[in-house]
A and B are shown apart, each in its own frame.
Chain A
Amino acid sequence: MSTVKSSQVNITDLDFDDIASNLKEYLKGQSTLKDYNFEGSNISLLIDLLAYSSHVSAFNANMVASELFLDTAQIRKNVVSRAKEIGYTPTSATASMATIDLQVNNPLIGGETPSSLTLNRGHKFKTTYDGFVFPYVLLDSQTISPLNGVFKFEDLKLYQGTMNSDIFAYNGQIQNQRFALSEELVDTTSITVTVSSTGGGASAWSQAEDISGVDKDSKVWYVQENDQGLFEVYFGDGVISAEPLDGDTITISYLVTNETHTEGASIFTMTDTIGGNSDVTIVTQTASSGGKAKEGIESIRFAASKFYTSQNRLVTVDDYKSKLQTLYPGADSISVWGGEDNNPPAFGKIFIAIKPSQNVNKLTTSEKTLLRDKMRKLNMLTVRPEIVDADIIDILVTTNFKFNPRATTKTVSELETLVRAAIITHDSTYLSGFDSIFRHSVLATDIDNAESSILSNTTTVKLRKTVTPTLGQSKGYEVEFGEGNKFYNPHSGHNKHGGGILETTGFLVSGFTDTFFLDDDGEGNLRRYSLSGSTRVYADSQAGTVDYSNGKITINGINILSTSNTDDTIHFTVIPNSYDSVAFRSNLLDINTSLINVNGATDTIASGDTSAGVGYTSSTSYS
């Protein structure tokens, strides 16, 4: 038998075929066993088994190595564990939240009108969503006294889900004792922990948010996700924050939300009574929104690395973006920009715009205050965070499409409905957040694809912003569409006699009885006019300026008394230079679904009604 060196075996391959091939190469170096190339032979069987075993071992080793790193781990508990190493706790499920006003009609307690009424944590409500009933609860207790005999709870926050409590006994003999909550869909922001001592006293402990603020007496608890996907509460060791005493009873109360988030639900009824009173009137202030599933592993991977980069401090714009995902977990979209990029520049400030959910564009005042307070603990001393409302740039879409009636059984109006639905879907798919771009060609493609008989479309776009003037005060205004949304102005004086590219809704000005509107002269001047029949009578040819290249309208000081719009607003509609539009800073692009204009027409060439293009009509591509 010739000598075979084991070092000649190539051990770097991991696939079954490569390993088997390497073993056969190795066996070529000897003459005792010659049948390794015949698949039926015993030695071939052993080679296959060895290759299989090596392949499985290599795969396992590869998988184990992958699970050791945040970038490559695939099993949730390992991703969570890797994130924990760098101090990141994945966010739990977030309950959808609605705000209501609740008036109790003629309440009686013990046959008499009470002096006050209290709604306790856990008070139950319900809503119907997609034909199913979903529970809602109140998390923060509220007590009111009657105002002019009216018992009215204002701005009650209702959270989707049901309350649950787990009770544990603290055993000081067990090290690292952890208390796993019995439900998976816990909203960890709703957790309250009460520690009752054997002597009878009970105290509420708070969640530790920053380890730098705790000492050995701090009554705080911590929360983390365990390897079974359940959240668990644990306490300090008496050195880093206080430790409960042996035998103390731990009561953990929390909200368990549902897998289905009832986004947009706005009709609520009360399930419980208030001291026996059930005659209530509920007015919904904001529809339910903000519901979110437990953070997925891809999100953890992304957020944990950003969290580590920011080190729980708010310095750069990216720090704010990543931390705000933790501070406001339900956010649909977040936009942050430095004061130096603001217009006008505001040094020493950082601007933040948050779109809370698909259905809600603005945060409430209390949410803004809460967020600002949380950020102030983390940001630089000299930088002030400013939370601003999202501005909406409405996109007014007009589309004229041609279709082949021989390729469909649908009527024109049915096709128009389909096209309208395609535009709405495009809006919700592409234009839901900040930093979004409206791409005209993508919309045109979506319209063409709405139905197979649609042959082409001519879609035009206008942009609209809404301004709420301060009524009864002389004041200047700026209406900004952004540098990315230049106005159409091919030459100086473009459409001067037709009103330029701007149109507005009407308003009344102090000292005049006529209803005024605004347009431009194509030379950069804003003009104020009234209508005499259909003729424009200009009252002021320099009522402000129009900056076509920066997409900005400036209105000189003007005292507006009222507006034609019933909601005291003025609409500014412009023709953009490009049909592609971009959302900048706090702006959100939104196709105004109520103003979508869709017209379908038979393609006379495709249908055979026209030959040689005679009599064929097409739509204008200019707004």
Chain B
Amino acid sequence: MASYNNTKSSQSSITARKWYTDMDLNITPHPSSGDLVLKFDKDAVKRSVRNIMLTNNYERPFKPNFGANLRGLLFELADDMTKYEIRKQIMEALEMLEPRVRIQNIYLSSVRNSMHISLHYGVVGSKEPQTLEVILQRVR
């Protein structure tokens, strides 16, 4: 796994060297080179966080505990207890599955049968705050 030096002098090189690289599941070719388009650093981490939040337990083969397991909570009452539960599950999942992320805050608001989640977090090795918006709603 890649390592990094958390000093100001190397900060610029961190950005330039692309510490985290992941592939894009859209699997689209680069318009000029024709190579697979990749995701780097904060985008790669954001994609990972999104994957974790939108995955339910038992969805990943042989990894029954993977995911924040939020889908079942969609059918709970939209009260403070449910919000507490959503926060708790997101935090537990990310702490367990995504070591690159430090959660700063989770804002929840229920809007017409859906739950808007705004996750504020930082990426290890980067000072830039990150935000991820996820809307949980029934699809049919």
Contact = CB atoms under 8 A, between A and B. Distances in A.
B59 to A, nearest CB: 10
Contact of B66 (A35, A39, A46): A39
A386 interface: no
Contact of A49 (B23, B24, B49, B61): B61
B66 A42 contact: no
Contact of B51 (A17, A34, A42, A49): A42
Interface string A34-70: 1101111111011011011001000000000000000
Given A33-B38, A34-B2, A45-B51, A39 B22 contact: no
A129 interface: no
A41 B61 contact: no
Interface string B38-69: 11000010011101100000001111001000
Nearest to A19: B62
A43 B60 contact: no
A16 B100 CA distance: 25
Contacts of B51: 40-42, 45
B22 A42 contact: yes
A52 to B, nearest CB: 4
Contact of A16 (B38, B47, B62): B62
A48 B62 CA distance: 8
Contacts of B61: 16, 48-49, 51-52
A48 B55 CA distance: 14
- Size class of the A contact interface (CB-based, 8 Å): 20 to 34
A32 interface: yes
A35 B62 contact: no
Contacts of B48: 35, 38, 40-42
Contacts of A51: 61-62
A15 to B, nearest CB: 9
Contacts of A17: 62
Contacts, number: 68
B62 A42 contact: no
Nearest to A53: B61
A38 B48 CA distance: 8
A45 B48 CA distance: 10
Nearest to B18: A34
A16 B20 CA distance: 25
Contact of B22 (A35, A48, A52, A55): A35
A494 B19 CA distance: 97
Contacts of B49: 40
A125 to B, nearest CB: 58
B97 to A, nearest CB: 5
A98 B52 CA distance: 70
B24 to A, nearest CB: 7
B20 A34 contact: yes
Interface string B66-99: 1000000000000000000000000000000111
A47 to B, nearest CB: 11
B44 A41 contact: yes
A52 B2 CA distance: 26
Nearest to A16: B62
B21 A35 contact: yes
Nearest to B53: A40
Nearest to A37: B1
Given A39-B63, A39-B66, A48-B61, A33 B23 contact: yes
A26 to B, nearest CB: 15
A622 B47 CA distance: 84
B42 to A, nearest CB: 12
B139 interface: no
Interface in A202-246: none
Contact of A32 (B21, B47, B63, B100): B21
B1 A48 contact: no
A17 B61 CA distance: 11
A39 B1 CA distance: 13
22 contacts: A32-B21, A32-B38, A33-B23, A34-B21, A38-B20, A38-B97, A38-B98, A39-B97, A40-B52, A40-B97, A41-B47, A41-B48, A41-B51, A42-B23, A42-B24, A42-B39, A42-B51, A43-B23, A48-B60, A51-B61, A52-B61, A55-B62
Given A34-B21, A51-B62, 15 more contacts: A34-B2, A35-B21, A35-B48, A37-B1, A39-B98, A40-B51, A40-B52, A40-B98, A41-B22, A42-B24, A42-B48, A43-B22, A46-B23, A48-B60, A52-B61
